[in-house]
Amino acid sequence: MIRKPSIIYNTNFCNQKCKQAYQIENGHLLNQHLKDQVEIECSICREKFNVPKSRENSAKYCSKHCLGIANGIRGKILYRNHVPVTCSNCGIDFEKKPSTMRTLNFCSVTCMGKFYSESKMFSGEKSGTWNGGDIGYYGPNWLSQRRLARERDQFTCKNCGITEEEYGQELSVHHINPFRNFNGDWESANELSNLISLCEYPCHRKRHSKNG
């Protein structure tokens, strides 16, 4: 048989059947390194257990149960290293690892999104990737509101009537009153009454063109 040089081993087989036959016939010769066992003591329960000699210096626990206990002990030690911190958005006190401390700290993704949305710290012209154009971040509830708007509109463009199935992709969701007019008030901007489902081309683009 012909094989790539990268997959040629000490023993090579043309199919799985031949490989299994070889393993049955030579089973007493395989994995000899596993037969050389040594006895060590579990670091948790202190029971003696056997491991291959190659794991004599790396094996520590006799079972998954003891491993779980060890992980719990390590977790408690790591948790004791947490330091108190105050959420930069809602003011709630919580704890963080020192390595994750920042100038601004948040208790949840929702608080982080709300803070950045209201402060506009990294949005629009203040963003390092700003190239002009429309605002791209519409607040932490945008994805859920976008989905609800499409469901309400029965996944149909409210301008031309094409469905998502006919269009071949998800419809866009447009802010009737532009998001920028709400001065960062994403909750009001993303009210369902201010959202409408449109196909991206041509209806959504025409709507933006009309808005100037």
Residue 204 falls within a domain, yes or no? yes
Residue 18 falls within a domain, yes or no? no
Residue 23 falls within a domain, yes or no? no
Partners of 52 in beta bridges: 37
Domain count, the chain: 3
Residues 73 and 95 in one domain: no
Residue 67 falls within a domain, yes or no? yes
Instruction: Provide the residue range defining the domain that includes 102.
Output: 84-119
Residue 114 falls within a domain, yes or no? yes
Residue 125 falls within a domain, yes or no? no
Residues 156 and 97 in one domain: no
The string of pLDDT tens digits covering residues 128-149 is 444 445 555 788 889 899 999 9
Residue (of 159, 155, 158) closest to 169 by Cα position: 155
Q: Residue 145: what residue type?
A: Q
Rounded to two decimals, the pTM is 0.39
Q: Quick count: other Cβ atoms within 10 Å of Cβ 210?
A: 7
Residues 149 and 184 in one domain: yes
Residue (of 111, 79, 77) closest to 97 by Cα position: 79
Residues 65 and 96 in one domain: no
How far is Cα 97 from Cα 101, in angstroms, rounded to an integer? 7
Residue 91 falls within a domain, yes or no? yes
The string of pLDDT tens digits covering residues 51-96 is 888 888 889 999 999 999 999 888 777 667 788 999 999 999 998 8
Residues 114 and 155 in one domain: no
How far is Cα 207 from Cα 52, in angstroms, rounded to an integer? 71
Residues 177 and 156 in one domain: yes
Of 13-27, 110-124, 137-151, 190-204, the range with the lowest mean pLDDT is 110-124
Q: How many CA atoms lie within 13 A of 99 on its CB side?
A: 3
Structure tokens at 132: 């002009």
Residue 4 falls within a domain, yes or no? no
How far is Cα 83 from Cα 163, in angstroms, rounded to an integer? 52
pLDDT greater than 50 at residue 104:
yes
